[in-house]
A and B are shown apart, each in its own frame.
Chain A
């Protein structure tokens, strides 16, 4: 049963990935103007140079052939050639991927832990002023644009107090050993992480609270109460385990959101990751880099969804039986 479920999910995953790659191809290769025009914007290219560029980008082939070449290149990890950096996109992406993974990993950890704890706390005080305050504050933070939250944080730490660095990933010119470097990067990591977490906590605190409150009317909670268990034990031991299921689903949704947040927060804090790369590529119309970043983001979300489905499946016996 489980094998069949897994096979079906895997097939769907493959289909979605394929559709995403095709969508990406259509978006960038069919709709807008040709890359040659973009490269030749400055007007320094004569007809011969243009012809050479057309050949370099394979635009002399039919769309179908271009699609096959594009697909083949992707499979070999070749994302094309950046207009701006005049290097392969893979080289440009280089360390940016790692930097983004570091930032998003830290932010996700903080967001989920703080969000779930706040949600449990709100549920334990359900329909009191504390509960309302947590809900309103969560919604308030959620209503802040990520970049604006970042600007406020920079304002606080750049203008008022100078406790932490507000830009970049390392202090320029600082030469230290491994531990010194690690300390430096960690210090730079704090504010962007804080910003991303602040904006996204609501997604976890509200869902945890609501699903806990829903779980509390279940029969097994009545049993637990009849056994004379304390409210806290009832909440954490009995309700939370069931209430965490929607949180797993929320994580998949959250990944789509936080990637949008990463673009804004990395831009504000000059964090040299894929978000900042997207910002720069948009500004300079460096489409191959933009295309690669978008494709990687989409694939990341699809894979997370896939994993959260599998996790849900293994956590919830009710899904498994049907």
Chain B
């Protein structure tokens, strides 16, 4: 701390909440071309996945009556053809998206709460607590994530709850690092120093004065963790570690790959779930990437 910080005169930025920007984050994302593209893509997929099963309520488990309807191309009755068991691909696609989204979101919630929480505590207290927590974080950061997720899923089981837990519990280190470094600089700001000298408790300072200032950063990270979690879930399911009952997009691709849909040229079975994953991940990535640029504009103002 410098003499400036303790002098009676307050710099204007010391009074304003630290790092508050003029335009809200969501508006900045909407104004950005790529950000808007991400929002539109995502809105499309979410509408299809969340509203679709309500609008098209036919039975996902309906088996074909004869072998003729197995791996059949698109028809009037089956808009996206049928699976190797004669099930309707379109219906499976609509329902499967929900599973992918569900696992992605719950894993992300776990990862963000853990990562942001650890980052906040670590950065705020600094010192030895920070050293210990960051050693642990660095250790998990360096472990190859997807292989670790695969090993854990193989050991602990493959229900969607366990998959969410496994992905969530392995995806926090990056977030912890990012939030921690921001908090480290926030805690040195004059505002925090003054509030503390007024007798505010640590918990309150973290909640009221630091958390709101790292919130945009958490949101930007949230979008990226979400796309990573959806990709991880898809990979797990494709490798046969998905929930066998709750068929996700990854499980559809697993079934398609292992039932010879590839050599049959059954593109209607492979493209929809794959495109669904890509659209969902791309939507979140574009938004996260855009938030990143808005929050860290250094690379953008360059000529």
Contact = CB atoms under 8 A, between A and B. Distances in A.
Given A145-B274, A148-B277, A263-B146, A135 B238 contact: no
Interface stretch (B81-89, B101-109, B197-205, B282-290): B282-290
A281 to B, nearest CB: 8
Contacts of B37: 136
Contact of A151 (B151, B155, B270, B282): B270
Contacts, number: 153
B127 interface: no
13 contacts: A32-B156, A145-B235, A145-B278, A147-B235, A147-B239, A151-B253, A259-B147, A260-B147, A264-B238, A279-B239, A290-B151, A294-B147, A298-B142
Contacts of A126: 302-303
Interface in B230-285: 231, 234-235, 238-241, 250, 253, 257, 262-263, 265, 267, 270, 274, 277-278, 281-282, 285
Given A143-B227, A145-B234, A147-B235, A259 B143 contact: no
A282 B241 contact: yes
A159 interface: yes
A139 B289 contact: yes
B9 interface: no
Nearest to A267: B239
A158 interface: yes
Contact of A213 (B156, B257, B302): B302
Contact of A305 (B142, B253, B301): B142
Interface in A268-312: 268, 278-279, 281-283, 285, 287, 290-291, 293-294, 297-298, 301-302, 305
Of the listed residues A20, A139, A285, the one surrounded by the most CB atoms of chain B closer than 10 A to its CB is: A139
Interface of A: 16, 19-20, 23, 27-28, 31-32, 126, 132, 135-136, 139-140, 142-148, 151-152, 154-155, 158-159, 210-211, 213-214, 216-217, 255-257, 259-261, 263-264, 267-268, 278-279, 281-283, 285, 287, 290-291, 293-294, 297-298, 301-302, 305
Nearest to A135: B34
A214 B302 contact: yes
B302 A263 contact: no
A143 B281 contact: yes
B239 A282 contact: yes
B298 interface: yes
A155 B263 CA distance: 8
B145 A256 contact: yes
In the A-B complex, the 8 residue pairs with the smallest Cβ-Cβ separation, listed nearest first, are: A260-B146, A143-B282, A143-B281, A148-B274, A256-B144, A217-B302, A210-B299, A213-B302
Given A31-B155, A259-B144, A279-B240, 14 more contacts: A16-B138, A27-B151, A32-B155, A139-B289, A140-B278, A148-B234, A148-B238, A151-B253, A159-B263, A214-B299, A259-B146, A264-B235, A264-B238, A298-B147
A302 B257 CA distance: 33
A302 B274 contact: no
A144 B249 CA distance: 13
Of the listed residues B34, B151, B282, B298, the one surrounded by the most CB atoms of chain A closer than 10 A to its CB is: B151
A23 to B, nearest CB: 8
Given A146-B235, A213-B302, A217-B301, A155 B267 contact: yes
A159 B34 contact: no
Interface in B134-187: 138-139, 142-148, 150-152, 154-156
Contacts of A301: 142-144
Nearest to A123: B302
Nearest to B288: A139
A143 B240 contact: no
A192 to B, nearest CB: 15
B207 interface: no
B278 A143 contact: yes
Contact of B257 (A268, A291, A298): A268
B33 interface: yes
Interface string B190-233: 00000000000000000000000000000000000001000100
Contact of B286 (A139, A151, A213, A214): A139
B14 to A, nearest CB: 28
B259 to A, nearest CB: 13
Contacts of B7: none
Nearest to B279: A143
B148 A294 contact: yes
B285 A143 contact: yes
Contacts of B234: 145, 147-148
A261 B302 CA distance: 34
Interface in B61-84: none
A217 B299 CA distance: 9
A297 B274 contact: no
B32 to A, nearest CB: 11
A154 B262 CA distance: 8
Nearest to B140: A23
B263 A158 contact: yes
B300 interface: yes
